[in-house]
Amino acid sequence: MGKYLYEMKEEYLDEVLQIYTHYILNTTATFHSRLLTREEMREIVFFNNEKYKTFVMCEKNEVCGYVLITQHKKREAYDDTAEVTIYLKPNFIGKGIGSMAIKHVEDYARKYKMHVLVATICGENEKSIRFFEKNGYIKCAHYKEVGQKFGQLLDVVAYQKIISRKIITSSL
């Protein structure tokens, strides 16, 4: 069997929540510090706007991760920018599944005329930083000591990738 991506459905919610729970309990990859309910996870992975979407990654009929593209900021000036987030089960890291998923999300974003994708990463998460750099994202921001988890003050870095050309015409 190969690797597949499927649009997020209710039937995947428990497995996606289990993946995210691992990162909450064991890492600084997310700044959530308490376990989420199914309803809270549902709010993270389901969207009312069709241009924002979550996809689950499967290999050999096993959910091995998920990737989502979501609204960057709630202002119309940011309508062509989206945030991308990816979580894999630890035993699936380094197998090419994440890169396949990022490419899929970039293609999906282009269909909705997105211009820039942004990834927000804990500054100590070197694996995620290397992953996004390997996939063509460049560092565009570094926020010092803006998060707290496990008794530490943590930096946040932002990486971005321009995925399409955009021509702006003035409306004045």
3-62 pLDDT tens trace: 689 999 999 999 999 999 999 999 999 999 999 999 999 999 999 999 999 999 998 889
- pLDDT tens digit string along 96-151? 999 999 999 999 999 999 999 999 999 999 999 999 999 999 999 999 999 999 99
Alpha carbons within 13 A on the beta-carbon side of 168: 5
Residue 172, pLDDT > 50, answer: yes
Q: Which of 166, 167, 129, 29 is nearest to 89 (CA)?
A: 29
pLDDT, position 60: 85
Q: Domain limits of the chain?
A: 3-117
- Residue 1 pLDDT > 60: no
Burial tier of 15 (Cβ tally within 10 Å: 0-12, 13-18, 19+): middle
Q: pLDDT at position 14, please?
A: 97
Edge-to-edge strand list for the sheet holding 138-149: 3-7, 53-59, 62-71, 81-88, 116-122, 152-162, 138-149
3-117 is classed in which CATH architecture?
3-Layer(aba) Sandwich (3.40)
User: Could you give phi then psi for residue 104, rounded to 5 degrees?
Assistant: -60, -45
What is the reported pLDDT for 171?
58
pLDDT tier at 2, thresholds 50, 70, 90: low
Q: For residue 151, give both structure tokens.
A: 């008794």
